[in-house]
Structure 1
Protein backbone atom coordinates (compact mmCIF):
# COMPACT_ATOMS: atom_id res chain seq x y z
CA UNK A 1 0.00 0.00 0.00
CA UNK A 2 1.53 3.27 -1.11
CA UNK A 3 1.41 6.25 1.18
CA UNK A 4 1.01 9.54 -0.63
CA UNK A 5 2.93 12.48 0.75
CA UNK A 6 2.69 16.15 -0.06
CA UNK A 7 6.29 16.10 -1.30
CA UNK A 8 5.22 13.95 -4.24
CA UNK A 9 2.82 16.65 -5.42
CA UNK A 10 4.84 19.78 -4.62
CA UNK A 11 5.04 20.92 -8.27
CA UNK A 12 1.30 20.41 -8.80
CA UNK A 13 0.41 22.22 -5.58
CA UNK A 14 2.64 25.18 -6.44
CA UNK A 15 1.26 25.33 -9.99
CA UNK A 16 -2.30 25.10 -8.64
CA UNK A 17 -1.59 27.97 -6.26
CA UNK A 18 -0.20 29.96 -9.18
CA UNK A 19 -3.32 29.26 -11.30
CA UNK A 20 -5.63 30.28 -8.45
CA UNK A 21 -3.59 33.44 -7.83
CA UNK A 22 -3.79 34.33 -11.52
CA UNK A 23 -7.54 33.70 -11.46
CA UNK A 24 -7.98 36.10 -8.54
CA UNK A 25 -5.82 38.76 -10.20
CA UNK A 26 -7.63 38.45 -13.55
CA UNK A 27 -11.05 38.53 -11.83
CA UNK A 28 -10.11 41.70 -9.99
CA UNK A 29 -8.51 43.34 -13.06
CA UNK A 30 -11.38 42.55 -15.44
CA UNK A 31 -13.96 43.77 -12.94
CA UNK A 32 -12.06 47.05 -12.53
CA UNK A 33 -11.71 47.49 -16.30
CA UNK A 34 -15.42 46.84 -16.97
CA UNK A 35 -16.51 49.16 -14.13
CA UNK A 36 -14.16 51.89 -15.38
CA UNK A 37 -15.54 51.47 -18.91
CA UNK A 38 -19.11 51.54 -17.60
CA UNK A 39 -18.47 54.77 -15.67
CA UNK A 40 -16.80 56.45 -18.65
CA UNK A 41 -19.72 55.54 -20.93
CA UNK A 42 -22.42 56.15 -18.29
CA UNK A 43 -23.64 52.56 -18.41
CA UNK A 44 -25.97 51.21 -15.76
CA UNK A 45 -24.32 49.37 -12.90
CA UNK A 46 -26.62 46.36 -13.39
CA UNK A 47 -25.51 45.96 -17.00
CA UNK A 48 -21.84 46.09 -16.05
CA UNK A 49 -22.46 43.51 -13.30
CA UNK A 50 -23.88 41.10 -15.90
CA UNK A 51 -20.87 41.53 -18.19
CA UNK A 52 -18.55 40.96 -15.22
CA UNK A 53 -20.40 37.72 -14.41
CA UNK A 54 -19.97 36.47 -17.98
CA UNK A 55 -16.26 37.29 -18.00
CA UNK A 56 -15.76 35.63 -14.60
CA UNK A 57 -17.50 32.48 -15.84
CA UNK A 58 -15.08 32.37 -18.77
CA UNK A 59 -12.11 32.83 -16.39
CA UNK A 60 -13.36 29.97 -14.19
CA UNK A 61 -13.56 27.67 -17.20
CA UNK A 62 -9.99 28.57 -18.17
CA UNK A 63 -8.80 27.99 -14.59
CA UNK A 64 -10.43 24.56 -14.44
CA UNK A 65 -8.79 23.62 -17.75
CA UNK A 66 -5.43 24.84 -16.44
CA UNK A 67 -5.81 22.81 -13.23
CA UNK A 68 -6.70 19.72 -15.24
CA UNK A 69 -3.50 20.13 -17.24
CA UNK A 70 -1.43 20.82 -14.10
CA UNK A 71 -2.61 17.66 -12.38
CA UNK A 72 -1.78 15.57 -15.42
CA UNK A 73 -5.14 14.25 -16.45
CA UNK A 74 -4.64 12.07 -19.52
CA UNK A 75 -5.37 13.75 -22.84
CA UNK A 76 -7.72 10.96 -23.92
CA UNK A 77 -9.72 11.42 -20.69
CA UNK A 78 -9.94 15.17 -21.26
CA UNK A 79 -11.08 14.63 -24.85
CA UNK A 80 -13.69 12.08 -23.77
CA UNK A 81 -15.06 14.35 -21.04
CA UNK A 82 -14.93 17.42 -23.30
CA UNK A 83 -16.74 15.65 -26.14
CA UNK A 84 -19.43 14.38 -23.77
CA UNK A 85 -19.95 17.81 -22.25
CA UNK A 86 -19.87 19.47 -25.67
CA UNK A 87 -22.48 17.05 -26.99
CA UNK A 88 -24.71 17.69 -24.00
CA UNK A 89 -24.25 21.45 -24.25
CA UNK A 90 -24.74 21.36 -28.02
CA UNK A 91 -28.13 19.74 -27.68
CA UNK A 92 -29.09 22.12 -24.86
CA UNK A 93 -27.83 25.21 -26.69
CA UNK A 94 -29.58 24.36 -29.93
CA UNK A 95 -32.77 24.19 -27.89
CA UNK A 96 -31.81 27.45 -26.16
CA UNK A 97 -30.19 29.29 -29.08
CA UNK A 98 -32.40 32.32 -28.52
CA UNK A 99 -31.17 32.71 -24.95
CA UNK A 100 -27.51 32.43 -25.96
CA UNK A 101 -28.08 34.86 -28.81
CA UNK A 102 -29.69 37.39 -26.46
CA UNK A 103 -26.86 37.11 -23.92
CA UNK A 104 -24.26 37.66 -26.64
CA UNK A 105 -26.26 40.58 -28.02
CA UNK A 106 -26.52 42.06 -24.53
CA UNK A 107 -22.73 42.00 -24.21
CA UNK A 108 -22.31 43.59 -27.65
CA UNK A 109 -24.85 46.30 -26.78
CA UNK A 110 -22.97 46.93 -23.51
CA UNK A 111 -19.66 47.58 -25.24
CA UNK A 112 -20.92 49.29 -28.40
CA UNK A 113 -23.51 51.29 -26.42
CA UNK A 114 -25.43 52.78 -29.39
CA UNK A 115 -28.27 54.09 -27.18
CA UNK A 116 -29.12 54.61 -23.52
CA UNK A 117 -32.12 54.64 -21.21
CA UNK A 118 -34.30 57.63 -21.99
CA UNK A 119 -33.51 57.67 -25.72
CA UNK A 120 -36.46 57.52 -28.09
CA UNK A 121 -35.74 55.04 -30.87
CA UNK A 122 -37.45 53.87 -34.01
CA UNK A 123 -37.00 50.21 -34.93
CA UNK A 124 -37.22 49.79 -38.70
CA UNK A 125 -39.14 46.52 -39.01
CA UNK A 126 -41.32 46.25 -42.12
CA UNK A 127 -43.88 44.06 -40.34
CA UNK A 128 -43.95 45.76 -36.93
CA UNK A 129 -42.23 49.17 -36.81
CA UNK A 130 -41.84 50.57 -33.28
CA UNK A 131 -41.18 54.07 -32.00
CA UNK A 132 -40.69 54.13 -28.27
CA UNK A 133 -38.61 55.35 -25.35
CA UNK A 134 -36.07 52.98 -23.81
CA UNK A 135 -37.03 52.38 -20.16
CA UNK A 136 -34.55 49.62 -19.29
CA UNK A 137 -31.78 47.60 -20.91
CA UNK A 138 -31.37 44.12 -19.43
CA UNK A 139 -29.26 41.06 -20.25
CA UNK A 140 -31.87 39.48 -22.54
CA UNK A 141 -34.14 42.32 -23.63
CA UNK A 142 -34.87 46.04 -23.77
CA UNK A 143 -38.02 47.48 -22.20
CA UNK A 144 -39.66 50.08 -24.44
CA UNK A 145 -42.59 52.40 -23.77
CA UNK A 146 -44.59 53.82 -26.66
CA UNK A 147 -46.17 57.27 -26.77
CA UNK A 148 -49.51 55.63 -25.95
CA UNK A 149 -48.04 54.07 -22.79
CA UNK A 150 -47.78 50.53 -24.17
CA UNK A 151 -44.83 48.60 -22.72
CA UNK A 152 -42.89 46.42 -25.17
CA UNK A 153 -40.24 43.87 -24.25
CA UNK A 154 -37.89 43.63 -27.24
CA UNK A 155 -35.15 40.94 -27.45
CA UNK A 156 -31.56 42.17 -27.63
CA UNK A 157 -30.71 39.96 -30.59
CA UNK A 158 -33.42 41.63 -32.70
CA UNK A 159 -32.01 45.06 -31.84
CA UNK A 160 -28.78 44.04 -33.54
CA UNK A 161 -30.61 42.65 -36.57
CA UNK A 162 -32.93 45.59 -37.25
CA UNK A 163 -32.12 49.12 -38.31
CA UNK A 164 -32.58 51.61 -35.48
CA UNK A 165 -32.83 55.39 -35.49
CA UNK A 166 -32.26 57.36 -32.31
CA UNK A 167 -34.88 60.10 -32.52
CA UNK A 168 -34.38 62.11 -29.35
CA UNK A 169 -32.79 62.07 -25.93
CA UNK A 170 -35.87 61.93 -23.75
CA UNK A 171 -39.57 61.38 -24.36
CA UNK A 172 -40.91 64.25 -26.45
CA UNK A 173 -44.23 64.70 -28.21
CA UNK A 174 -42.51 65.44 -31.53
CA UNK A 175 -41.13 61.99 -32.22
CA UNK A 176 -42.43 60.12 -35.24
CA UNK A 177 -45.00 57.33 -34.82
Structure 2
Protein backbone atom coordinates (compact mmCIF):
# COMPACT_ATOMS: atom_id res chain seq x y z
CA UNK A 1 0.00 0.00 0.00
CA UNK A 2 1.59 3.30 -1.04
CA UNK A 3 1.37 6.53 0.90
CA UNK A 4 -1.20 8.17 -1.42
CA UNK A 5 -3.68 5.32 -0.91
CA UNK A 6 -3.19 5.44 2.84
CA UNK A 7 -3.72 9.21 3.03
CA UNK A 8 -6.24 9.54 0.17
CA UNK A 9 -8.83 11.54 2.14
CA UNK A 10 -6.21 13.85 3.61
CA UNK A 11 -4.68 14.54 0.18
CA UNK A 12 -8.10 15.33 -1.33
CA UNK A 13 -8.89 17.60 1.64
CA UNK A 14 -5.54 19.37 1.29
CA UNK A 15 -6.17 19.90 -2.41
CA UNK A 16 -9.60 21.38 -1.67
CA UNK A 17 -8.16 23.72 0.97
CA UNK A 18 -5.44 24.91 -1.43
CA UNK A 19 -8.06 25.48 -4.14
CA UNK A 20 -10.28 27.41 -1.70
CA UNK A 21 -7.36 29.57 -0.53
CA UNK A 22 -6.45 30.50 -4.10
CA UNK A 23 -10.11 31.10 -5.01
CA UNK A 24 -10.81 33.22 -1.89
CA UNK A 25 -7.65 35.27 -2.33
CA UNK A 26 -8.58 36.10 -5.93
CA UNK A 27 -12.20 36.93 -5.06
CA UNK A 28 -11.26 39.03 -2.01
CA UNK A 29 -8.57 40.90 -3.94
CA UNK A 30 -10.99 41.77 -6.74
CA UNK A 31 -13.75 42.77 -4.30
CA UNK A 32 -11.49 45.05 -2.24
CA UNK A 33 -9.99 46.65 -5.36
CA UNK A 34 -13.48 47.20 -6.81
CA UNK A 35 -14.62 48.77 -3.54
CA UNK A 36 -11.53 50.98 -3.33
CA UNK A 37 -11.86 52.04 -6.96
CA UNK A 38 -15.48 53.08 -6.47
CA UNK A 39 -14.60 55.20 -3.42
CA UNK A 40 -11.07 56.42 -4.02
CA UNK A 41 -7.93 55.39 -5.87
CA UNK A 42 -5.47 55.08 -3.01
CA UNK A 43 -3.52 52.00 -4.03
CA UNK A 44 -1.22 51.88 -0.99
CA UNK A 45 -4.10 51.42 1.46
CA UNK A 46 -5.82 48.93 -0.83
CA UNK A 47 -2.77 46.70 -0.91
CA UNK A 48 -2.42 46.92 2.87
CA UNK A 49 -6.01 45.78 3.50
CA UNK A 50 -5.62 42.97 0.95
CA UNK A 51 -2.47 41.83 2.77
CA UNK A 52 -4.34 41.71 6.11
CA UNK A 53 -7.20 39.71 4.63
CA UNK A 54 -4.81 37.29 2.90
CA UNK A 55 -3.06 36.73 6.23
CA UNK A 56 -6.41 35.86 7.83
CA UNK A 57 -7.25 33.44 4.99
CA UNK A 58 -3.82 31.77 5.33
CA UNK A 59 -4.25 31.32 9.08
CA UNK A 60 -7.68 29.75 8.59
CA UNK A 61 -6.26 27.47 5.89
CA UNK A 62 -3.44 26.37 8.19
CA UNK A 63 -5.93 25.53 10.93
CA UNK A 64 -8.03 23.59 8.39
CA UNK A 65 -4.99 21.60 7.25
CA UNK A 66 -4.12 20.76 10.84
CA UNK A 67 -7.64 19.41 11.36
CA UNK A 68 -7.61 17.49 8.06
CA UNK A 69 -4.34 15.74 8.85
CA UNK A 70 -5.70 14.42 12.12
CA UNK A 71 -4.25 16.51 14.86
CA UNK A 72 -6.48 16.09 17.89
CA UNK A 73 -8.82 19.00 18.57
CA UNK A 74 -7.71 19.22 22.20
CA UNK A 75 -4.10 19.59 21.07
CA UNK A 76 -5.10 22.34 18.61
CA UNK A 77 -7.07 24.23 21.26
CA UNK A 78 -4.23 23.89 23.77
CA UNK A 79 -1.66 25.12 21.24
CA UNK A 80 -3.84 28.00 20.02
CA UNK A 81 -4.68 29.11 23.54
CA UNK A 82 -0.99 29.00 24.48
CA UNK A 83 -0.04 31.03 21.40
CA UNK A 84 -2.89 33.48 22.01
CA UNK A 85 -1.77 33.93 25.61
CA UNK A 86 1.84 34.64 24.64
CA UNK A 87 0.82 36.96 21.81
CA UNK A 88 -1.73 38.68 24.05
CA UNK A 89 0.80 39.32 26.79
CA UNK A 90 3.42 40.46 24.27
CA UNK A 91 0.97 42.69 22.44
CA UNK A 92 -0.52 44.18 25.59
CA UNK A 93 2.49 46.42 25.75
CA UNK A 94 2.06 47.08 22.03
CA UNK A 95 -1.67 47.88 22.08
CA UNK A 96 -0.92 51.14 20.31
CA UNK A 97 0.39 49.28 17.26
CA UNK A 98 -2.70 47.09 17.06
CA UNK A 99 -4.91 50.11 17.64
CA UNK A 100 -3.24 51.98 14.78
CA UNK A 101 -3.54 49.02 12.41
CA UNK A 102 -7.22 48.57 13.27
CA UNK A 103 -7.80 52.31 12.87
CA UNK A 104 -6.05 52.20 9.51
CA UNK A 105 -8.45 49.50 8.32
CA UNK A 106 -11.45 51.49 9.60
CA UNK A 107 -10.17 54.61 7.83
CA UNK A 108 -9.75 52.59 4.64
CA UNK A 109 -13.32 51.34 4.57
CA UNK A 110 -15.06 54.45 5.90
CA UNK A 111 -13.09 57.06 3.87
CA UNK A 112 -13.95 60.08 6.03
CA UNK A 113 -11.21 62.03 4.23
CA UNK A 114 -8.71 61.49 1.44
CA UNK A 115 -5.28 62.61 0.33
CA UNK A 116 -5.41 66.29 -0.60
CA UNK A 117 -8.09 67.23 1.95
CA UNK A 118 -7.24 69.92 4.46
CA UNK A 119 -8.39 68.81 7.89
CA UNK A 120 -8.50 70.36 11.32
CA UNK A 121 -7.99 68.02 14.28
CA UNK A 122 -9.81 69.41 17.32
CA UNK A 123 -7.53 68.82 20.26
CA UNK A 124 -7.75 71.39 23.05
CA UNK A 125 -4.06 71.09 23.86
CA UNK A 126 -2.64 70.82 20.35
CA UNK A 127 -5.04 71.71 17.54
CA UNK A 128 -3.66 70.76 14.14
CA UNK A 129 -4.67 71.95 10.70
CA UNK A 130 -2.98 70.61 7.62
CA UNK A 131 -3.27 69.00 4.22
CA UNK A 132 -3.21 65.20 4.09
CA UNK A 133 -0.27 64.13 1.96
CA UNK A 134 -0.34 60.39 2.75
CA UNK A 135 -2.39 57.83 4.68
CA UNK A 136 -0.46 54.80 5.95
CA UNK A 137 -1.26 51.75 8.07
CA UNK A 138 -0.10 53.43 11.28
CA UNK A 139 -0.33 57.17 10.68
CA UNK A 140 -1.46 60.05 8.49
CA UNK A 141 1.09 62.52 7.13
CA UNK A 142 -0.02 66.17 7.26
CA UNK A 143 1.67 69.32 6.08
CA UNK A 144 0.69 72.65 7.61
CA UNK A 145 0.48 76.06 5.92
CA UNK A 146 3.84 76.85 7.48
CA UNK A 147 5.38 73.77 5.85
CA UNK A 148 5.61 71.72 9.06
CA UNK A 149 5.39 67.97 8.43
CA UNK A 150 3.20 66.29 11.07
CA UNK A 151 2.79 62.55 11.50
CA UNK A 152 -0.50 61.85 13.30
CA UNK A 153 -1.38 58.33 14.57
CA UNK A 154 -4.49 56.73 13.07
CA UNK A 155 -5.99 55.77 16.43
CA UNK A 156 -5.95 59.41 17.55
CA UNK A 157 -7.74 60.44 14.35
CA UNK A 158 -10.65 58.22 15.33
CA UNK A 159 -10.67 59.58 18.89
CA UNK A 160 -10.57 63.30 18.07
CA UNK A 161 -13.08 65.49 16.31
CA UNK A 162 -12.04 66.30 12.77
CA UNK A 163 -13.30 68.97 10.37
CA UNK A 164 -12.60 68.82 6.67
CA UNK A 165 -11.75 72.47 6.04
CA UNK A 166 -11.56 72.30 2.27
CA UNK A 167 -10.50 70.00 -0.48
CA UNK A 168 -7.31 70.77 -2.37
CA UNK A 169 -8.12 72.57 -5.61
CA UNK A 170 -6.02 73.00 -8.69
CA UNK A 171 -4.63 76.49 -9.23
CA UNK A 172 -6.74 77.39 -12.21
CA UNK A 173 -9.16 80.15 -13.00
CA UNK A 174 -12.87 79.50 -13.11
CA UNK A 175 -14.91 81.34 -15.68
CA UNK A 176 -18.62 81.64 -16.23
Common fold by TM > 0.5: yes
- Aligned match of 1:175: none
Structure 1 pair 171/122, CA: closer, same or farther in 2 (3 Å)?
farther
1:62-97 Cα shifts (integer Å, max 9, x gaps):
101111111111122112211211111011210211
- Aligned match of 2:173: none
Gaps of 5+ in 1: 173-177
Task: Give the whole-Å Cα distance in 2 for the aligned partners of 1:21 and 1:106.
Answer: 30
Q: 2:103 aligns with which of 101, 105, 113?
A: 105
Gaps of 5+ in 2: 171-176
State which drifts further: 70-79 or 15-24.
Answer: 70-79
User: In structure 2, the residue corresponding to 1:128 is in which secondary structure?
Assistant: coil
Q: What TM-score, normalized by structure 1, do the two folds share?
A: 0.92
Q: How many residues align?
A: 170
User: RMSD across aligned C-alpha pairs, in angstroms?
Assistant: 1.4
Q: Does 1:128 align with 2:119?
A: no
- Aligned match of 1:21: 19
- Aligned match of 1:69: 67
Q: 1:11 aligns with which of 3, 6, 9?
A: 9
Task: Give the whole-Å Cα distance in 2 for the aligned partners of 1:87 and 1:114.
Answer: 35
Task: Give the whole-Å Cα distance in 1 for the aligned partners of 2:58 and 2:75.
Answer: 20
Q: What TM-score, normalized by structure 2, do the two folds share?
A: 0.93
**In the TM superposition, what is the alpha-carbon distance from 1:43 to its structure 2 partner?**
3.1
Ranges of 4+ aligned residues in structure 1 off by more than 2 Å: none
**In the TM superposition, what is the alpha-carbon distance from 1:5 to its structure 2 partner?**
2.2
